[in-house]
């Protein structure tokens, strides 16, 4: 006859667990009998942690993709406006009076002196 180390209940000699409180008996410990609910809890915690990590990873990837997209759109905008500026600058200004082709930066027509 053995007694439970936790609650003191009388147990059979071949008992691995206390029938009253579920504590492992020295025999159960010696034989390495695992506690089912502890294993289940550890497994559940692990699963939860894995799931959380996986979700965080997914979220991270999604956020990264979103910001990459935003950055790409910004770069595209900048490129377009830069191209626009280059095009504007390279386009000559024509004098309204004589039709002379003047540079954009010219304030007066190079040919007739008209204010551009």
CA distances from 85 to 39, 67, 75, 94 (A): 68, 27, 15, 18
Contact (CB, 8 A) for 103 and 93: yes
Alpha-carbon distance 102 to 89, whole Å? 11
Look at residue 102 and give its three-state secondary structure.
strand
Work out which of 15, 17, 23, 93 binds Zn ion, going by CB under 5 A: 23
Residue number, 23 or 35, with CB nearest to Zn ion: 23
21 is a site residue for Zn ion (CB under 5 A): yes
Work out which of 75, 97, 104, 108 binds Zn ion, going by CB under 5 A: 97
100 is a site residue for Zn ion (CB under 5 A): yes
Residue ranges that bind Zn ion, judged by CB under 5 A: 4, 6-7, 9, 18, 20-21, 23, 95, 97-98, 100, 109, 111-112, 114
């Amino acid at each position: 006859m053995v007694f439970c180390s936790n609650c003191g209940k009388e147990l059979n000699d071949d008992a691995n667990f206390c029938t009253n409180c579920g504590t492992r008996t020295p025999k159960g410990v010696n034989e390495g009998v695992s506690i089912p609910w502890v294993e289940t809890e550890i497994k559940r915690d692990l699963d939860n942690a894995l799931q959380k990590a996986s979700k965080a990873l997914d979220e991270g990837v999604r956020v990264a993709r979103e910001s990459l997209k935003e950055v790409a759109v910004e770069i595209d905008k900048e490129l377009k406006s830069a191209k626009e500026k280059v095009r504007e600058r390279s386009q000559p200004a024509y004098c309204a009076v004589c039709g002379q082709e003047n540079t954009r930066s010219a304030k007066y027509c190079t040919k007739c002196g008209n204010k551009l």
